[in-house]
Every structure is written in C-alpha cells, then in structure tokens.
Amino acid sequence: MTTGLAVDGAAPVRGGRPWPPWPQPASGAGLALLDVLHSGRWSIASPCTGEPTRERRFADDFASYLGTGHCIPTASGTAALMTALEACGVGAGDEVIVPALSWAASASTVLGVNAVPVFVDIDPETLCLDPAATEAAITPATKAIVVVHLYSALADLDALQSVAGRHGLALIEDAAQAHGATYRGLKAGTFGDVGTFSMHHTKVLSSGEGGAAVTDDPDIARRIEHLRADGRVRNPDFPGTGMPELVETGELMGSNRCLSEFQSALLSAQLTDLDEQNAVRRANAALLDELLGELGLRPQRTSRGTTERTYFGYAAALPDHVLRTVPSTAVARAVTAELGLHVRPVYQPLYSSPLYDPASRPRFAIGPGHLERIAPGRYDLPEARRAADAFLTFHHSALLGDASDMHDIAEAFRRVLALGSRLAR
C-alpha cells in the first residue's frame, strides 16, 4: 500500500512511462513540406508559379471543413483576433467585452487596436462568458463581444447571439481552443460575425505558429485580407507566371500578418487527422470524467447547445473540502510529480494576470484617462476568481493515450487527495 507521495521521494504512479507526443505529424506532412521546399514559392507574396498557393488551398480546405464562406489564414491567433476586431469596426476608445478567464491575447488584442477591454465574469460550470453578466456590462461605448470557448467547453452561443443582436454589437467567436467542436450541429467559429482560430504548437490543429479568421460576410473577409497583407488582396485572375499575385488596392492600410506556405501546407495535411484525434480525446475524457467524478472532482461542463466537444485542455475542479486545507497549486505540483505530466491551475483572471499589464507599454498611453480605463485594478470578479483557485488542467496530448493512461491520472489524483494533508504542512 502506498504510504507516500512522489513529491516527498516515494515512487510515482507513472514510473517514467512517456505520454503521447505533441504535435504528431500527419502521414502526408513530410511530403507536403518537401513540396513547398522545392516549389520556389515560400510566401503568398512570392512570384506566381501558375499553381494555387498552399495558403489558398488550406483556406479552402478549412472553410469547407467548417462550413463557412471565407477563411483568411494569419500568422497567429493573435493576428486573427486583431484583424477581426478592426474588420468589425472596433477602434480607439471603443469598449470590447471579453471573459475574465482566458489567455492574455483576449485582452491584449483589444488594447492593440486602441480599444478598451471590459472584463466580464464567467459561468462557474463552463468557465465561459456569462451571458447575463455580458448584457449587464454593455454601455454606449460597447462595440463588440469576444466570446472564448475555453479548454473543452463551448459558451452559450444562443444567449450571446441574442445579446449581441439586441444591442447591435459585433460578436467575435474565439475558437482557438475548439477546432472541430460543434454547437447545434454546426462548427464552432461559425456563429459570430467572425470566428478566429490559433494554430499554435499547443493547439489540436497545429503548424507551430499560425491562425485563421473565418466569416460568411464577404465585406468583412475582404477587410481582413487587407489588414493581414499590408493592404493587399489576392488577385482573383491569374496574373501570369513570375508576376505578383497580391494586388495593391489602396482600399485599407494593413500589416504583414500572413501565414507562410510551409505552415499552410502542414495545416492541410494535419487537418486530415483532426476528427479522428478529437474522437480519441472525447472517449478518454468521458472515462476520466467518470473516474475523477468518483473521487469528488468536478469536470468542466459545456453549454447545453453543445453537440460535440473537443479538448484543448482537460479541466476539473478539486473538491471543496480539499481546497479548504490545501491550495490547488500544491495539488497540481503533487499530481505532476506522480505522472510526469504537467498539471496546473487554469488561467488566472486576466485582471490579475502578470501577462496583462498595459502600464508596461507606453504605446497604450494614447490620451488623457485612457490608461485609467484599461487599468486592471478596478476588477474583482468572483466566479473567475473561484474557478482559478479550484480548477486544474492538463494538455490534450495526454488524452491521445489509452484507458490505462486515464486510470493512471485518476490514481495520481486519488493518491494525492488521500495524502493531501501532508501538502498543507
């Protein structure tokens, strides 16, 4: 019978067995990259070769997969969010509602277009934006709502679409952690005026870095194209071999936020494995929900409209009686030591995150009173704070294992919770 914890020198639950690696290259990924390497075209700004760019091929593939009219690849999820905000008319001094519990880019992108992020509390079960709190936060200065599908949950899109519609606000759907998830049978990212995705190393669809914005609105799509390619758009007609394919329209100034041809080719290959990998994650997460639920943990829930979940991260709240004596950070360290798997608390509320500090950037002092409007110290949102204290999470790659791996995770939590009083010393 186990009498100690790995953090105290006892033998760990896992015993050094490796977890599934991530990213995992799809079967055609290597050939796709070699094809670009020898193509003579590594960027969409390269001279035309007579073949469609890999970026255009991925854009078509991803738009078809999602069932949306337009996909504009970008250099990152951050770039997708910033161009989406600007394309929806958000600018200096406008307020944008964002969830208090999210990655830093949810707020920093709003700052990046000289607007004001307004932090709103979350639903305690899904950890996503609370629709009632969202409506209560709307002011005459509000221009848009950014809804984030967090870890494995989809937000209440029915309610949020209704709120946005009643108040004439743009709804931007951040699906960076929800590739392939569905809500009422439709893919996440297709419900807002714009949907944005990240293809960072950590994401379930990855090219190391990268992103995409999707929309059914052709005017918004054209603005995003300009914004991400220095004010240029793709020529719909063949310009001739060796000629530039991007047209300088003079319609809208932009910046260079383009995805490379290597990343685009890799994403088209990786997309072929996405649904199968998501199915494995779902099955293992369902088993883990059962195993951890028996220990008193509370797995993250998703909104009622969800028809298919995906898992960027698996998240579960520790029992209240444990949290009364042991902080979640101590439990996370102990479980990590048992498993050799990075288990950690969920994001800190953005207003208390060290990654959100507008005063550290002189560029945001754009006028009298603006720094006061964007200062984080005026917020203290109880559900976001409680979730940050209670929920632990780990990366989706562990869910690509088998049932024995899920039992290892449950056993590690069982051991740590049973002996957790030692962590309080």
Catalytic residues: 203
Sheet holding 306-308, edge to edge: 186-187, 182-183, 306-308
Three-point CA angle 278, 181, 290, nearest 5°: 60
Cα–Cα dist 139/90, whole Å: 15
DSSP code, position 10: S
User: How far does the chain reach from its first CA to its final CA, in angstroms?
Assistant: 22
Distances (CA, A) of 235 to 224, 247, 303: 15, 6, 42
Beta bridge partners of 395: 313
Cα–Cα dist 236/250, whole Å: 16
* Contact status, residue 163 vs residue 134, Cβ threshold 8 Å: yes
Closest by alpha carbon to 278, among 397, 191, 394?
397
DSSP code, position 164: H
Distances (CA, A) of 366 to 92, 255, 271, 306, 363: 9, 20, 42, 41, 7
